[in-house]
Amino acid sequence: MWIRLDRTAFDLQGVCPVCRWCDLEYQSADIDWDTISYKWTCNDCHSEWTEWYTMEFYSQDLRYDWPQKKSVDDEDREYKLLDY
């Protein structure tokens, strides 16, 4: 059975809303577009809940080896005349 409680009174990250205990056993994360959720069970009162988080772009780390550009002189290029 699912019960929706008043968010302002109970929504604290990593805290059980029933017994206010912090000994939670988390399951693997579920990722959906711009949200991520974790189901967990309280090891004190054994209630089961889901924590939801929104994801927001922060930054990028570049890990790519750019290919070296070869310099080409005009004299090394092949020029072709096009016949129309």
Evaluate whether residue 26 is within a structural domain: yes
What's this model's pTM, rounded to 2 decimal places?
Answer: 0.52
The pLDDT value recorded for residue 56 is 87
Instruction: Classify residue 35: in a domain, yes or no.
Output: yes
Q: How many domains does one find in the chain?
A: 1
Residue 62 lies in a domain: no
Rounded Cα distance, 57 and 73, in Å: 43
Give the pLDDT score at 39.
Answer: 93
In a 3-state reduction of DSSP, which class is residue 10? helix
Q: Average pLDDT for consecutive 10-residue bins of the chain (84 residues)?
A: 55 85 90 91 93 87 73 56 60
- Residues in Cβ contact with 56 at an 8 Å cutoff, skipping those fewer than 6 apart: 34
Could you tell me if residue 69 is inside a domain?
A: no
Report if residue 22 sits inside a domain.
yes
pLDDT for res 43: 93
What's residue 57's pLDDT? 85
